[in-house]
Structure 1
Amino acid sequence: MTQLSATQRDLLCPFCAGQCVFSPAAGALVCESCGEGHAIIVDPAHDPTREFHYDPETPHTEQPVLTEDRVHQCETCGGAVVFTGPALSDRCGYCDGPVVLGGRDERFQALGLIPFRLTEAEAQTRAIDWVRRRLAAPTDLADTVSRARVAGFYVPFFTFDSHEAVDYWARYRTGSGDKARTHSVKGSMSIVFDDLLAPASPHITPMIRDGILHDFNPEDLRPYIPAYLSGFAAEQHHLSVSEGLAANEADKRLLIRNRIKTHINKSRIIDIGYKTHTSGIHYRRILLPVWILHYSYNNTAMKVVVCGMRGRTFGERPFSPFKLAGYSAAISALAIVFGWVWGAAGWF
């Protein structure tokens, strides 16, 4: 007789011993055998919004733990996912490549997550609506996407807080021609980042990140409970906090430069430099839900990403060469007509 893990036992239906999965529509566990729903019990003392202090100048005591979960490793992109409940798949949610069973998972513990709110059917509807609105899309694209393989899984993110004391210098131009001038400016400013969302995996592409960034609300966080993951896959946290901060450095630099531009309040800025002192770093480890639809068009693999929280959609799509040629011809015809009218009216 196969011995069940503690997580598997918790996901058995108390009425019929069938397997329960999390239903985004019900916001609860639903038995796949008898259809009974079961509320997820949350410890009120567990605060999923709790943040932890991080000081890069002192040793960090957080250590990864070895769990009973077995990871499935993608042979194409290298992504490692854990399946909870009956979610087992032989395909990778990130790239649709084949996955093979690996060893036990050693990971940092996520303390919070936002459960799926959109069902698979709703995600597919959002994706089809998205491709139908694409300019110059092939006529059969929506039908192709309707047959896409849909993968729902949780992806790892950090949230970071920090205080930045910034000293900057910049140059900007005014005037034109002989009156063109270059000016220098310098100054200081304070920037507070609160809940800056940062991917905690190199497999989270900009398309996945952008689909999630605008829908994140820390008030939606729930405690990390395996019941929320039942029926889904998840990539867990494997980056240390210092690695997460380093991976987010490029995004942070861009945000600081944009804040400096706003602070200078000048147009035609041509150069910006700065140095910053960072303090008050706090972080969370969380999991966020995403649907990814994998499809192929003319033997080219593509995907559409739908945020599992509120449905914001991004994706890859092909273009119809015939529609592009038609649009080009129409624009050229309009330009010719406009030029003819302009000339006939004697406006030259």
Structure 2
Amino acid sequence: MAVTEANHWPCAQCGADLRYAPGQTELKCDHCGYVQAIPAKAPRQKASALVEHPLAKGLSDDLPDAASEDVRSTTCPNCGAVVEFQGANHASQCPFCATPVVVDTGSHRRIKPQALVPFELTESQARTALKSWLGSLWFAPNSLLEYTRAGRAMDGIYAPFWTFDADTDSRYRGQRGDYYYETQWVNVTVNGKTERRQEQVRKTRWSATSGRVSRDFDDVLVMASSSLPARLGNDLTPWDLTKLQPYSPDYLAGFQAEGYTVGLADGWGRAQAVMADVIENDVRRDIGGDEQRVDTVDTDYSAETFKHILLPIWMAAYKYGGKSYRFLVNGQTGEVQGERPYSVWKITFAVLAALILAAAAAYIYDPSIFGLPQPDWMD
């Protein structure tokens, strides 16, 4: 994980840290209440910031200088997180394990984020969403809910994503299966006697087919973090990307921003896998029939572009049974995903209760199963 230090903006009135106010277009000082508006981008500036980069130039490291930046970073010796440094700072601490870290001597070039979706949920709202989700889990430890009731702090992080656009044209070969029915004579036993009856048996007639399908993809989203569990991060959908704003450090005030650890080439490979699933469904619809077999699909890609964006996530970690579990809350919609633990005691009691109920039902139905006489009230 590559995470920038917490972003600090001093209050013009008292010097304390300003913080971006989720759902607003302003920075607020928690100390004195001072409010500072975030300057609005002109429509032309906003449109320019949201223009996609040509994918070929990004893959060949041929983007304009303005699209990249030099970043200094170091790897945490304790947990392996990659901490990025800003400005003249040379020492900090890892935001995930609090281990002191010192910047390496070198720097590397990275693609700058073009846009972000600002936080809309406050930490309090995110905690409420998490508490509701945890409360709906069966066999979850009671300490999970106690964790949220205790008001434990959640970390607000802008996570990195790639978005990809592409026009596709796919040629395929496959087989179409159409059902038909044949009448067959079969022997069946009725009241101890064998009878001969007719039965309709379904069969499939296969025929070779080929064709072509086309689809234009817009904003295929790929998480660019290898530190967050892919299943959790990718399932925090949907995101409303119409709310994207041109990248501005003002939105990062009081939050952290993670640098991408899934490179552009790997991100494009994952996007192609997502597109391939959609294309295969298109092929099956084009083949038609009752069943389909897809033998080969050959896809040509054109007009390939990408953006590097940041999306808001509230994150919490919980330890249970010596293992760490992570919970993510979509900072825009409140969707929750998490690695949930199970309470062994709750499962054990549930199994015992089920066995007791089953035994009671069996006794009521037939006491002789347990070698007991039938009670008088059952006569």
Q: Alpha carbons of 1:89 and 1:185: their partners in 2 closer, same or farther (altered >3 Å)?
A: farther
> If the length of structure 1 is used for normalisation, what is the TM-score?
0.78
Letter of the 1:102 counterpart: V
Runs of 4+ in 1 over 6 A off after TM superposition: 175-178, 329-332, 334-338
User: Where do 1:24-63 residues align within 5 Å?
Assistant: 24=22, 26-44=24-42, 45-47=44-46, 48-55=49-56, 59-62=60-63
Q: Equivalences for 1:69-218 in 2 at 5 Å?
A: 70-71=72-73, 73-75=75-77, 78-82=80-84, 90-92=94-96, 98=99, 100-103=101-104, 104=107, 106-147=109-150, 148=152, 150-171=154-175, 174=179, 179-181=202-204, 183=206, 184-214=208-238, 216-218=239-241
Note if contact 2:83-2:94 (Cα within 8 Å) is conserved in structure 1.
no
Does structure 1 residue 319 correspond to structure 2 residue 325? no
Flag the 1:198–1:97 CA change in 2: closer, same or farther, 3 A.
Answer: farther
Matches within 5 A, 1:195-274: 195-214=219-238, 216-237=239-260, 241-266=264-289, 268-269=291-292, 271-274=294-297
Q: Is the 8 A contact 1:107 1:238 kept in 2?
A: no
* Contact 1:150 1:293 (C-alpha < 8 Å) held by counterparts: yes
* Aligned-partner Cα distance in 2 for 1:235–1:117: 18
- How much does 1:260 deviate? 2.7
Structure 2 segments unaligned to the other structure (5+ residues): 1-6, 182-199, 366-379
Between 47-56 and 288-297, report the one with greater CA deviation.
47-56
CA contact 2:23–2:121 (8 Å) conserved in 1: yes
SS in structure 2 of the partner of residue 169 of structure 1: strand
Q: CA deviation at 1:237?
A: 4.1
Q: Is the 8 A contact 1:207 1:305 kept in 2?
A: no
- Runs of 5+ consecutive residues of structure 1 not aligned to the other structure: 1-6, 342-348
Residue aligning to 1:300: 323
Q: What letter corresponds to residue 161 of structure 1 in structure 2?
A: D
Does the 8 A contact of 2:226 with 2:261 survive in 1? no
Quote the residue 2:11 is aligned against: 13
Conserved? CA contact 2:76–2:94, under 8 Å: no
Q: RMSD of the alignment, in Å? A: 3.6
In the alignment, is residue 288 of structure 1 matched against residue 308 of structure 2? no
Deviation by residue 1:143-201 (Cα, 9 ceiling, x = unmatched): 13445552211111111111110112334654799753362433211011111111223
What does the per-residue CA deviation read over 1:79-135, in whole Å, with 9 as the maximum and x for residues that have no partner? Answer: 4344789xx76332xxx5857343456321111111111112221221111111012
| CA spacing shift, 1:55–1:17, aligned 2, 3 Å | same
Distance, in Å, in 2 between the alignment partners of 1:226 and 1:261 is 46
Rg larger in structure: 2
TM-score, normalised via structure 2 length: 0.73
Equivalent pair of 2:59/2:265 in contact (CA under 8 Å): no
Q: Percent identity?
A: 25
- The C-alpha deviation readout for 1:4-55, integer Å capped at 9, x for no partner, is xxx86xx222223332121215442112432201111133132242222334
After superposition, the Cα gap between the structure-2 partners of 1:225 and 1:81, relative to the gap in structure 1 and judged at 3 Å, is farther
In 1: Cα distance, 2:296 partner to 2:139 partner = 42
- 2:147 and 2:24 mapped to 1: Cα distance? 29
- Relative distance call for 1:321 and 1:110 in structure 2 (3 A) is same
